[in-house]
Structures are given as C-alpha cells and as structure tokens.
Amino acid sequence: MRPNVSRLLGVVVAFASGLASAQSYPTRPVRLVVPFVPGGTIDAYARALARQVESQMGQPIVIDNRAGANGILGADVVAKAAPDGYTLLNNAASFVINASMYKKLPYDTARDFTPITNFVKGLGYLLVAHPSVPASSVKELIELAKKKPNAVRFSSPGIGNGQHLAAELMNMKTGIQMLHVPYKGSSPALAAVLGGEVQVAFQTPSSVLPLIQGGKLKALGFSGEKRLPALSNVPTIAEAGVPGYTYDVAWHAWFGPAGMPSAIVNRLYAEIRKALQEPKLVAFFREGGFEPRADAPAEFAKIFRADIKRYGDIVKAAKIEPE
C-alpha cells in the first residue's frame, strides 16, 4: 500500500475512533478542577454549571478544589492530566493574567491546554467599602487616598487576578496609591473588607449584593461600561469621576489538557450550550452580573490567546513586576 494511502487510512481510523469515544463519553465520573477555595464566585459558578451538565450527560462531575498560587497549582494538575476528557479545568481571567505575572510557570498557558468554551462573561466589578470608611462615593475615596498614599488598602484573591488589576487601573487613572493586600481566594478577600482589615475591594456583584442590601458594605461604583441593572442607582466609575475607566470581569470557562480529541471537546461544548438554555441557571448568572456566552471552541481559543496579550499589556502599564 502506498504511504499516502496508508496515512489517509490512519487519519480515517483515528477520526472514527474519536467519534466513537465521544458518542460513549463519559462512561465514568468527570473531575472538574477549580483552582480556588470553595465559596467564591468561580467555585459557585463552576458548581452551578456542573450540576446541569452532569444531569444531561448522566455521569457525575466531581468538583476538585485545588487552591494555591493564584490558581497555578490547580491549572498544573490539568496540564499534566491525560487528555481524555475526564480531567477538566474551570477557570477565569486570572488564568491568562498569570502568564504575565509570573516569570516561570510549570506549564505554558497558550500551549498546554485545550480551550472548550467561555460559558459566561462578566459585566464588571462593584467597588465596595466597609461602612466605617469615610467615603460614600468614588470622588470621596480618591480624595481620601490622595491625602496619604497606601493608607487605603484593598483586598483581592491574589496577585494578578482581575480584582487586583481593576484596582491598579484605578490607581493609574487617578494618580492615587491604594495598597494591595492579596488573600488566598475570593472568600477570604471578601471577609477582609467585611471585617475592616482593608477598606475597599473590587468584588463580583453576586458575592456582595446581599451584603450591600443588608448594610454590611457600601457600593461606591461599578467598573463596567454601563450601570449594573440590579443596582441602577450606583454609577459607573467613569460616571463617578474617573473618565475613561472601564474594566469588565472577562470570562469563566472550561479547559482540558492539550491534545483532547476534538470530538470530545465538541461534545462538552454542545452540553454547555444546552445547559445555558436552562432558565434557572441563566437567571443565576445574570443576577450576579454575568451573561451566558458559550463561544465555539475555535472562537474561544482566539479570545483566550488574545487575552493573554491584552492583560499582559495592562500588567506592564501598571508596572507590576512579575514574581
């Protein structure tokens, strides 16, 4: 048999094998690694989507919280897993930001993962303050911060995540110098501002709306382009005195290890798209300031790689030195 014919037959066999495995996939529980502690927005959204997808696919999706190093430890678990669709990663924008925040990672962000889809896109963060802070608006916070550099402290789930960069962008736009206090996850970062350890924080709406309504935090502004519908009385940060400021929350997405069969990737993508037709799940995401998205794998791969550069440019402009 001629070599080119043999090669063609090999491709056909491989394709048929991949298609067959996708049709039977999954035949056992799937592990979904969430590289942060339980209780934060990333974890809550991962669990909500996983519950719907597992009900459709007929196999459990087991959440594996592998917190540490701003999501690096969990991502590394997936990078080194077999690309068979049984170990997946649920991550957010900090995943691509890490590529610029660390001099050396145990994996290559662009090459060692298979992007599946971005299941939601965030509209923005709420800038919240502890009730004791003598500032009830963005302008008053800026005035307070200008009086004494680093006197106003802000929390985030770790160095280089979206909440950190949202605050650094505000520092850049206003010339103030708020001090970053990183924590090991969204929950402790929120607890820090609730307990008065720090004065302010940029937080996802879903995590702070009940606290704002209960008077435990006050909302000063919203980082998105438009006001948050759930808090229409709270101005955008641009409206509140920082012209040109906007920072969205980017995406939450699922990934697999590099080399996953396209048939399994497409199966997972189809199941996520189907899950996002569930009204209760859609309402849950929208209440938190996120819109369902689900770009096709090839399209999301382009977004993913473009965001590695986009956030890298913000890190450089903020003069954050890689660790």
Q: Which range marks the domain in which residue 61 is found? A: 28-121+249-317
Is 4 among the domain residues? no
147 with 289, same domain: the answer is no
Q: How far apart are CA 37 and CA 243, in angstroms?
A: 35
256 with 199, same domain: the answer is no
pTM of the model: 0.76
137 with 190, same domain: the answer is yes
Q: How far apart are CA 221 and CA 44, in angstroms?
A: 24
Predicted local confidence at residue 22, as pLDDT: 66
Q: Give how far Cα 175 sits from Cα of 160, 195, 239, 249, Å.
A: 20, 27, 17, 23
Q: Give how far Cα 15 sits from Cα of 37, 261, 305, Å.
A: 38, 9, 26
Q: 165, 197, 231 — which closes off a domain?
A: 231
130 with 226, same domain: the answer is yes
195 with 48, same domain: the answer is no
Predicted local confidence at residue 250, as pLDDT: 82
For 9-41, the pLDDT digits (tens) are 443 444 444 554 667 999 999 999 999 989 888
Is 240 among the domain residues? no
63 with 130, same domain: the answer is no
Is 310 among the domain residues? yes
116 with 35, same domain: the answer is yes
CA neighbor of 49 nearest in space, from 253, 205, 187? 253
Is 11 among the domain residues? no
Q: How far apart are CA 122 and CA 252, in angstroms?
A: 8
In what helix (H) or strand (E) does residue 261 lie, and over which residues does it extend?
none
Is 269 among the domain residues? yes
144 with 223, same domain: the answer is yes
Q: How far apart are CA 141 and CA 148, in angstroms?
A: 12
Q: 200, 231, 262 — which closes off a domain?
A: 231
175 with 88, same domain: the answer is no
User: Residues in the chain with pLDDT < 50?
Assistant: 1, 3-17, 20
Over its C-alpha atoms, the chain yields an Rg (Å, rounded) of 21
For 55-112, the pLDDT digits (tens) are 999 999 999 999 988 899 999 999 999 999 999 999 998 899 999 989 899 999 999 9
Domain count along the chain: 2
DSSP β-bridge partners for residue 154: 180, 200
Predicted local confidence at residue 27, as pLDDT: 98
Is 53 among the domain residues? yes
92 with 145, same domain: the answer is no
104 with 253, same domain: the answer is yes
Domain holding 277: CATH number?
A: 3.40.190.150
CA neighbor of 89 nearest in space, from 253, 297, 281, 269? 253
DSSP β-bridge partners for residue 222: 126, 236
